[in-house]
Structure 1
Amino acid sequence: MKLGFLTACLPGRSLAEIVGWAATNGFEALEVAAWPALGDRPFTASHIDVDDLDRGGAERILALFDRPGLTLSSLAFYDNNLHPDPDERAAINRHVQACIDAAALLGCPTVGTFLGRDPGKPVAENLREAEKVFPPLVDRAGERGVKLIIENCVMEGWHPDGYPGNLAYSPELWEWMFSLGLYLNYDPSHLVWMGIDPVAALRPYVDRVAHAQAKDIELFPEKRTRYGWPGRAVERPDAWDVGWWRYRVPGLGQVDWRRLVDTLYEGGFDGVLSVEHEDPVWGGTEERIETGLRVAHRTLRPLIVA
């Protein structure tokens, strides 16, 4: 197992700068943000332009990683592949295809994305839509030696009432998506606030985890008593502010990382555990983000066999 991080937390830095910092600070891998260049959504970045990547560009990127001995673990483009607007959905699906092609050029084993959801339709109808959208993407990935991985993020901010906006939030849905040939980019933090034990949920499915993310979470039960599970309702100017929990870097929340890493090892996982830094306490400036990444490294490094 190797320890890495998702580059989206440093959107203003070049890939070369991030590679240098990661190697200097003891990380072994990077999950590289590959969103389209346009847009200003939070926690996204464009550190590899997959649309214009050719063999020469791929060789330059690989040389960048080879010098310090880092692993390029995944290309990250997390967006709504079931978007209700057909043109937007088609554009997102095309970008996933471009990420798959780029991953093949780079020898990168995985491409990460979301299932997503049309919030105007019930879950059952969305699943039938996904059964049309994803098989061509899975086939394209398989032909190029790449695994398409889905993060189990709830994406509650995509739904007008704070309900799940990405239909990969529970083991029941994992089993369904595995039947489509998809793999899991496992993140324990999302399970905690949904009331699911992240270790018990993981144990039967380690063989379908092609990549894992390390993000922690801090719960405030007294606030949940006021708002309920979906979060703030009367006043919620920020769709992502549920009001009773927040993400933290590993070691500052309630995930039991010792048990979780042990479960990954016991199940035979030998991939990358990638820190996804969305901690508001250690955010805001690049210096604070770096500190947050160091806290995560200090927490996880002793648990991972070098």
Structure 2
Amino acid sequence: MNYKIGMRISPNIGKQGIGSAAKWAASVGLDVLDVPYINKEVKAVCEENGIDIGSVDGAGAVGSTKLLSKDKQARDEAVALIKKQMDEMSELGATVMFMCLIPEDINTSRKESFHLWKETFPDIVKHAEQTGVYIALEGYPGPAPQYPTIGCTPEMLRAMFKEIPSKHFGLNYDPSHLVRLGIDHLRVLSEFGDRINYCHGKDTEILAEELYECGNLAATFGSQYDFSEGSWRYTIPGHGEVEWDKVAVRLEKIGYRGPVSIELEDHRYWGSLEAEQQGIVKAKEHLALYLK
């Protein structure tokens, strides 16, 4: 197996500009860059540095989104924006749109959000099919205590994929979220392998003492780490519970041919340009043991 390894752009690397991010990524042996938007300039700087464009963030669809608004006009406007972006992606050769579907009102139940999703996404996915774009749905469950995101559990994914069977609507496989939720990250690959449109390289450490203190609830008085809610914390690959050797084998078995893109969320490699660069390099080195 020989998978390309890429990265999402972390804050301090992003402050240098996309051109500098692409140049640095290529210099440390990365193959792919996920970008917050796509235009001719972004495409050009990636090509100049010999690096592929991975996923493109869906406009207004990463985090709180009007795609799940209770206001129909707001939903319609959000759908029009996404379809316009798909047209632009198609013209520039980008094929993966990254989304994280948190309802505009975070107190909206996941069941209600699912019904709102059914109102908007059939039209979106039809346009994705026409433009050659593949939607990759992020599994971050959203903020505590509501955890309102849809598409982060097998129960919800199964319902969504039954409603929209098109391969153009799929998931971004990120095992870190599955581990923190107590979901078998390898079984998800087995069940939903044909709907995996992208993959993130991120890990989760389960903190035994904190798990005793607060169970799987968010810590009452705040967690002691960034990128944590108490009994777990996000880490770079290799510092958590994810079995990357088995993930690699299963990715190959299901026929996944996309990249594995590092999403840096680890308090030990955060807060400065140097720390972020160190974290990404360490993550890349670990993933390369199994993916290259």
Q: TM-score, normalised by structure 1?
A: 0.82
Specify the alignment match of 1:113 in structure 2.
Answer: 99
Specify the alignment match of 1:41 in structure 2.
Answer: none
Aligned partners of 1:245, 1:261: CA distance in 2, in Å? 23
Aligned partners of 1:85, 1:239: CA distance in 2, in Å? 32
1:73–1:272 contact (8 Å) kept in structure 2: yes
Percentage of matched positions with identical amino acids: 26
Specify the alignment match of 1:195 in structure 2.
Answer: 182
Aligned partners of 2:172, 2:158: CA distance in 1, in Å? 14
Q: 238-247 or 83-92: which moved more?
A: 83-92
Aligned partners of 1:286, 1:185: CA distance in 2, in Å? 26
Specify the alignment match of 1:290 in structure 2.
Answer: 277
Name the amino acid aligned to 2:5: L
Specify the alignment match of 1:249 in structure 2.
Answer: 236
Aligned partners of 1:212, 1:191: CA distance in 2, in Å? 13
Residue 225 of structure 1, CA deviation: 2.5
Aligned partners of 1:234, 1:7: CA distance in 2, in Å? 31
Matched, 1:14 2:1: no
Structure 2 residue runs of 5 or longer lacking an equivalent are: none
Structure 2 CA distance for partners of 1:275 and 1:254, relative to 1, 3 Å: same
Specify the alignment match of 1:80 in structure 2.
Answer: 64
Structure 2 CA distance for partners of 1:235 and 1:268, relative to 1, 3 Å: closer
Residue 26 of structure 1, CA deviation: 0.4
Which of 200, 207, 213 aligns to 1:226? It is 213
Name the amino acid aligned to 2:63: D
1:80–1:89 contact (8 Å) kept in structure 2: no
Matched, 1:260 2:266: no
Matched, 1:303 2:286: no
**CA deviation map 1:65-105 (0-9, x unaligned):** 22333211110241233555748766654543343233212
Matched, 1:31 2:34: yes
Secondary structure of the equivalent of 2:250? helix
Aligned partners of 2:264, 2:222: CA distance in 1, in Å? 27
Structure 1 residue runs of 5 or longer lacking an equivalent are: 35-47
Aligned residues: 279
Secondary structure of the equivalent of 2:19? helix
Secondary structure of the equivalent of 1:72? strand
RMSD, matched Cα: 2.5
Structure 2 CA distance for partners of 1:122 and 1:25, relative to 1, 3 Å: same
Name the amino acid aligned to 1:227: C
Aligned partners of 1:235, 1:3: CA distance in 2, in Å? 34
Name the amino acid aligned to 1:3: I
Aligned partners of 2:227, 2:200: CA distance in 1, in Å? 20
Aligned partners of 2:18, 2:188: CA distance in 1, in Å? 34
Q: TM-score, normalised by structure 2?
A: 0.86
> What are the within-5 Å matches in structure 2 for residues 266-285 of structure 1?
266-285=253-272
Structure 2 CA distance for partners of 1:241 and 1:63, relative to 1, 3 Å: closer
1:75–1:99 contact (8 Å) kept in structure 2: no
**CA deviation map 1:257-295 (0-9, x unaligned):** 111111101111111110001111100001100000000
Aligned partners of 2:186, 2:129: CA distance in 1, in Å? 29
